[in-house]
Amino acid sequence: MDFSRLKFATAALPAGVPARRCAVDGMGLLTSCRVAWEQGAHLVGLWGSDDRDRGRGFTIDVVVRDADGLVMFEHTLPDVDSTYPDLSIVFPAANRMQRATFDLLGIAADSDDQRPWVWQASWPIDCYPLRRDFEALAKWQPGQEEYAFVRVEGDGVHEIPVGPVHAGIIEPGHFRFQVVGEKVLRLEERLSFVHKGIEKRFEGMSAATGHRLAGRVSGDSTVAYAWAYSQALEAIAETTPSPRASWLRALALERERIANHLGDLGYLGNDGGFAFGLSQFSRLKEQVLRSNLELFGHRLAMDYVVPGGVTQDLPAGSRVGVADECSMLEREIRVLRDIYDEHDGLQDRFRLCGIVAPELAAKLGLTGLAGRASGQPHDVRCDFPAPPYGTLGVKIASASGGDVAARVAMRFDEIAESLRLVRAIVDGLPDGEFTVDVPPPKAFRKGLGYVEGWRGPVLVGLECGPEGTVRRCHPHDPSVANWPVLEHAVIGNIVPDFPLINKSFNLSYSGQDL
């Protein structure tokens, strides 16, 4: 990004990808975001921190991604009554992030939308969990909130509430549909049902074990989160993992991508009435998970990625088994892709369903897999390749149809690329240690981790405290930006297509809610 228009100095920021930081005042924050937007940057995350104990009021951190890497704008609010500019006029995705920041810290953006996002009448209204003087273990009775959903008035308009408990085996959230007959006029989401207080839980934790909590923000992306957390800590501690460790981490990440895509392809077939697809893909996914148990000691590779590297080396003689498995998967998936592509009934469901046009995707900051299916070709493995991706080279998958069919095609393409990468990793795995020591991090240093999880880029913002503790950790899921786009994708579609459209995005509730 061209910083010459901004009058603020930038400095390097420790991170897993190229990153810079920039301290800005209120108007500077809005101007910087505008300049960033004009130069093609996108909002990645926004969060706040209570720094009154260090005499620095409250800090707002805004991270954007441009062609060169990440930029973190840091803005200080002197006291609880100060406000900061509404960034959602530049980056619409900032709306919920700002509302969440208010619920957790009590500092507000200068915005018309002051509805709660995290708070659901679950703690007293003037208590803010992420303030350092908040009693973390205090218990309040859960209440019931009255959330101001936007209603649509008119002849024949009905309102359908769905959730939080959903019909299938999926995470909880509330969807409020406004419909005429079967056609959806409007969808509004109310999330935060699985808010577990993760950011508060991080405070005071030993930074050396923070990857365990990071890896449980969204269990299906445990490798991506643990890696992003480890990147942030390693950057702060100025430690570089060994080459072998990086390659093994990538092996776990690509297998996580493959497993999730296989599961999704099965469920997408099922949601289109094609149970054969679910049966076939879930069979293949089970084989991948069983191999993961042998390779990583855990079917989901949870707790495999740790600061400094990974917990165990690849079992001797794995290379042949992994290569054979890749060949088997490639063969089977080729057959299944043909069957899916030739199945008229299924394609009739997939095509032109739940469309997000590229222009809308760009405006709203649709990211990750869903973004790539709507003409937003960004992938951290390609844009800012950290080891080993620079050596391996990753071919980016992209489409511009933005419908369910495009998001299905993304998954097929990405599985093929990931299988190629898995083979290349076991073939070219460098010798050496699988982990290195990470010295205790210095207090009050900040760092970022940024890893392309299977849904999209996972960001972890970490600030260390004294004695090797975590002072503040903000794990940021790509779903935060993508959830609002789903509300647009369903407009004009019929209600029975909602499960299919929702599944084609397959966004994280737990990652959104923290």
Partner 1 sequence: MLQILRQIARTGIVTENPPAPAHDRVVSARLQERIVRTLGRALTIRHVDAGSCNGCELEIHALANPYYNIEGLGIKFVASPRHADLLLVTGPVSKHMAIALQRTYDATPDPKLVVAVGECGCSGGIFGESYASLGAVRNVIPVDVEIPGCPPTPTALLEGILAAISAAKPAIAGNAGNNANDDSSAAPEA
**CA count, 13 A, side-chain hemisphere, 381:** 27
Q: Is 363 left (phi over 0), alpha (psi -120 to 50) or beta?
A: alpha
Q: Which of 42, 65, 216, 249 binds partner 1 (CB under 8 A)?
A: 216
CA-to-CA separations, 377 to 174, 295, 476, in angstroms, rounded = 30, 32, 20
Instruction: Measure the CA–CA gap between 246 and 249, rounded to whole angstroms.
Output: 5
Asked whether position 348 contacts partner 1 by CB under 8 A, the answer is: no
Q: How far is CA 94 from CA 26, 281, 392, in A?
A: 16, 37, 34
For 123-161, letters b (16+ CB in 10 Å) and e give beeeebbbbeebeeeeeeeeeeeeeeeeeeeeeeeeeee
List beta partners, residue 43: 64
Site for partner 1 in 377-406 (CB under 8 A): none
Tell which one of 3, 162, 193, 395 touches partner 1 (CB under 8 A).
193
170 is an interface residue for partner 1 by CB under 8 A: yes
Structure-block tokens of residue 510? 């737990």
What single string gives the DSSP state of each residue in 426-449?
HHHPPPS-SB---PPPPTT-EEEE
**Closest to partner 1 by CB, 80 or 289:** 289
- CA atoms 379, 384, 387, 388: torsion sign: positive
In the complex with partner 1, the residue whose CB is nearer, 34 or 299, is 299
Q: Identity (one letter) of the amino acid at 162?
A: V
Q: Is 336 in the site for partner 1 (CB under 8 A)?
A: yes
61/513 with CB nearer partner 1: 513
Q: What is the CA radius of gyration of the chain?
A: 22
Helix (H, G, I), strand (E, B) or coil at 221: helix
Q: Please report whether residue 146 would count as binding partner 1 according to CB under 8 A.
A: no
Task: Give the C-alpha separation, 72 to 388, whole Å.
Answer: 25
| Cβ atoms 59, 76 nearer than 8 A | yes
Q: Does 500 bind partner 1 (CB under 8 A)?
A: no
Shortest Cβ 296–partner 1 spacing (Å): 14
Cβ distance to partner 1 smaller for residue 262 or 406? 262
Tell me which stretch binds partner 1 (CB under 8 A): 40-48, 105-113, 149-157, 208-216.
208-216
**495 lines the binding site for partner 1 (CB under 8 A):** no
User: Of 32, 88, 435, 508, which one interacts with partner 1 (CB under 8 A)?
Assistant: 508
Residues 6+ apart with CB under 8 A from 327: none
Q: Which is nearer to partner 1, 341 or 433 (CB)?
A: 341
Cβ(313)–Cβ(319) below 8 Å: no
∠ CA 9-14-17 to the nearest 5 degrees?
Answer: 100
- By CB under 8 A, is residue 273 in contact with partner 1? no
Does 212 help bind partner 1 (rule: CB under 8 A)?
yes
For residue 276, state whether it binds partner 1 (rule: CB under 8 A).
yes
Residue 220 engages partner 1 in binding (rule: CB under 8 A)? yes
Rule CB under 8 A: choose which of 157, 339, 382, 436 binds partner 1: 339
Interface residues for partner 1 in 406-445 (CB under 8 A)?
Answer: none
Query: Is 85 in a helix, a strand, or coil?
Result: strand
Single out the residue of 95, 98, 218, 512 in contact with partner 1 (rule: CB under 8 A): 218
What residues between 69 and 128 interact with partner 1 by CB under 8 A?
Answer: 120, 122-123
**Binding flag, residue 169, partner 1 (CB under 8 A):** yes
Name the nearest CA neighbour of 91 among 146, 135, 42: 42
Q: Which residue in 49, 95, 222, 367 binds partner 1 (CB under 8 A)?
A: 222
311 binds partner 1 (CB under 8 A): no
Among 78, 161, 197, 393, binds partner 1 (CB under 8 A): 197
Based on the shown chain and the rule CB under 8 A, indicate whether residue 509 belongs to the binding site for partner 1.
Answer: yes
Q: Please state the separation of Cα 127 from the chain's center in Å.
A: 28
Q: Beta 108-110 vs 83-85: how paired, if at all?
A: parallel
Is the Cβ of residue 33 or residue 301 nearer to partner 1 in the bound state?
A: 301
233-272 positions binding partner 1, by CB under 8 A: 263
Is 200 a binding residue for partner 1 by CB under 8 A? The answer is yes
CA separation for the pair 417, 301 (Å, rounded): 20
Nearer to partner 1, 37 or 123 (CB): 123
| Residue 39: CB minimum distance to partner 1, A | 36
Q: Count Cα neighbours of 89 within 13 Å in the Cβ-side half-sphere.
A: 13
297 touches partner 1 by CB under 8 A: no
Question: Facing residues of 61 across strands?
Answer: 47, 74
Give me the least distance between CB of 268 and partner 1, in Å please.
13
The residue among 1 and 295 lying less far from partner 1, judged by its C-beta, is 295
Q: Is 132 in the site for partner 1 (CB under 8 A)?
A: no
Q: CA dihedral defined by 49, 50, 56, 60, rounded to 10 degrees?
A: 30
15 touches partner 1 by CB under 8 A: no
Q: Which stretch binds partner 1 (CB under 8 A): 130-138, 246-254, 322-330, 441-449?
A: 130-138
**Shortest separation between residue 259's beta carbon and partner 1, angstroms:** 8
* Cβ proximity of 120 and 100 under 8 Å: no
Contact set with partner 1 (CB under 8 A): 120, 122-123, 129, 134-140, 142, 144, 164-165, 167-172, 192-198, 200-201, 212-213, 216-220, 222, 263, 276, 278-280, 282-283, 285-286, 289, 299-300, 302, 335-336, 338-339, 342, 508-510, 513
